[in-house]
């Protein structure tokens, strides 16, 4: 490992600390949000020639381990019993979200069927990725015998548009959806007139983080989280490759939820903050892997089809949710779980300053993993 790689890794690890400090000190930084700033830093690093050779190996490693380690820390502090009072709303949002994806893909198929070769395969891949994430899209490539060029082009546009979609979700989505959807409310969340979110001390305050009585239990919680990841990774690899990622996420979630019922673990302070710090590392690393130059030589019909499926399904979801009186935060987290998959749920919950919706997002994302391949194959061959 050379000096350039070490410097890059230090930037990935230390930059979130600086941003957290600045966010606590300056209101302007806090309004922008640590998550969005981290994405901006990552995009700058990845698209200005600052990445050293062989950096991709370390980027992949960090992106693969950060969320699985952060997830248990975040879930340790959850009040799972209270979540069940919101379960009906969550599953209604899931059904609406999946239906919205299918409708918009059918609309796109009708619009672009004359200008995209093998559009039935593209439709199957888009259904799979927007209900189950990238692992399901990869499974569709094999199941539908998709040619490499079509798969890579579709995936490239999905990643590029996904970055734009994520910026919208992290910055403006809550304000936009609150224009016509009710705000999230529960026994634990108080919405103020101009400052929507949890009390700062509960949600994003790092005060006292390094005090002995806080830091030592946190180290123990971190160790437990690493152990959960290790066990889940081992057991997940016993599943078929197409379902391995979903199995690992499901195992991590299940074990972490079980441990959250242990009062001694649930009472450890700042586990949520530590988990979110690790999520910020994930944000910088993932965004540094985005290559904006891949938008050259664009196939406009395919690009528009992917965009319609991504953005159109979420706005249709929000429109229908209005009639079911589903709140803005639940619609946002449902959309991100389906479009971007469960690892992005804590990222968006952090931007929304609402940790109560994390479990909802993870459950919706996992169900999406489970049904995505079935929907993709069925719709593709139905259109063919």
User: What are the extents of the domains in the chain?
Assistant: 84-273+293-383
Report pLDDT digits (tens) over 72-84.
887 787 666 665 6
% the chain with pLDDT above 70: 86
Report pLDDT digits (tens) over 240-253.
876 677 678 778 87
Top pLDDT among 243 and 190 is at 243
Residue 199 confidence (pLDDT): 41
Report pLDDT digits (tens) over 79-121.
666 656 667 788 888 899 999 999 999 999 999 988 888 899 9
Task: Give residue 134's pLDDT band: very low, low, confident or very high (50, 70, 90).
Answer: low
Residue 282 confidence (pLDDT): 81
How far apart CA 186 and CA 282 sit, in angstroms, is: 29
Buried b (16+ CB within 10 A) or exposed e, 295-327: eeeebebbbbbbbbbbbbbbebbbebbeeeebb
- Out of 155-159, 173-177, 181-185, 278-282, pick the least confident: 155-159
What lies within 8 Å, CB to CB, of 113 at 6+ separation is 119
The first and second tokens of residue 34, run together, are: 């640590």
Report pLDDT digits (tens) over 23-38.
878 877 877 777 778 8
Q: What is the CA angle 144-133-11, rounded to 5?
A: 130
Residue 194 confidence (pLDDT): 32
The first and second tokens of residue 361, run together, are: 């997002």
Residue 245's alpha-carbon distances to 236, 310, 352, in angstroms, are: 7, 22, 26
Task: Give residue 270's pLDDT band: very low, low, confident or very high (50, 70, 90).
Answer: confident
Residue 201 confidence (pLDDT): 43
- Is the pLDDT at 188 greater than 60? The verdict is no
Top pLDDT among 348 and 198 is at 348
Top pLDDT among 80 and 167 is at 167
For the segment 132-151, the average pLDDT, to the nearest whole number, is 72
Mean pLDDT score of the chain, rounded to an integer? 81
Counting Cα atoms < 13 Å in the Cβ hemisphere of 67 gives 23
SS3 content of the chain, % helix, strand, coil (to 5): 80, 0, 20
Residue 319 confidence (pLDDT): 94
Residue 102 confidence (pLDDT): 94
Report pLDDT digits (tens) over 153-162.
887 788 778 8
| Structural contact between residues 112 and 300, judged by C-beta atoms closer than 8 angstroms | no
Q: What is the DSSP letter of 311?
A: I
């Amino acid at each position: 490992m050379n000096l350039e790689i070490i410097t890059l890794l230090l930037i990935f690890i230390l930059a979130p600390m600086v941003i957290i400090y600045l966010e606590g000190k300056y209101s302007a930084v806090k309004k922008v949000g640590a998550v969005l700033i981290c994405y901006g830093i990552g995009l700058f690093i990845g698209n200005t020639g600052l990445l050293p050779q062989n950096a991709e190996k370390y980027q992949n490693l960090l992106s693969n381990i950060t969320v699985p380690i952060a997830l248990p820390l975040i879930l340790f502090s959850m009040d799972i019993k209270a979540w069940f009072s919101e379960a009906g709303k969550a599953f209604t949002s899931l059904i609406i979200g999946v239906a919205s994806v299918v409708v918009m893909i059918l609309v796109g198929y009708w619009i672009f069927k004359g200008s995209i070769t093998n559009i039935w395969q593209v439709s199957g891949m888009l259904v799979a990725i927007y209900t189950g994430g990238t692992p399901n899209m990869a499974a569709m490539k094999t199941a539908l015998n998709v040619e490499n060029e079509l798969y890579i082009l579709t995936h490239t546009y999905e990643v590029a548009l996904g970055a734009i979609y994520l910026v919208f979700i992290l910055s403006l989505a809550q304000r936009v959806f609150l224009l016509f959807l009710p705000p999230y409310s529960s026994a634990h969340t108080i919405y103020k007139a101009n400052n929507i979110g949890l009390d700062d001390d509960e949600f994003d305050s790092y005060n006292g983080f390094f005090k002995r009585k806080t830091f030592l239990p946190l180290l123990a919680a971190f160790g437990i989280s690493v152990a959960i990841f290790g066990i889940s990774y081992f057991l997940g690899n016993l599943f078929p490759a197409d379902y391995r990622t979903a199995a690992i996420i499901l195992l991590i979630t299940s074990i972490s939820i079980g441990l959250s019922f242990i009062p001694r673990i649930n009472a450890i302070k700042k586990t949520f903050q530590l988990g979110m710090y690790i999520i910020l590392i994930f944000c910088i690393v993932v965004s540094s892997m985005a290559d904006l130059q891949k938008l050259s030589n664009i196939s406009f019909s395919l690009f528009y089809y992917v965009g319609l499926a991504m953005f159109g399904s979420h706005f249709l979801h929000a429109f229908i949710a209005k009639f079911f009186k589903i709140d803005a935060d639940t619609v946002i987290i449902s959309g991100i779980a389906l479009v971007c998959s469960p690892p992005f749920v804590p990222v968006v919950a952090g931007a929304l300053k609402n940790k109560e919706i994390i479990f909802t997002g993870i459950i919706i994302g996992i169900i999406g993993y489970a049904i995505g391949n079935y929907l993709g194959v069925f719709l593709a061959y139905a259109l063919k």
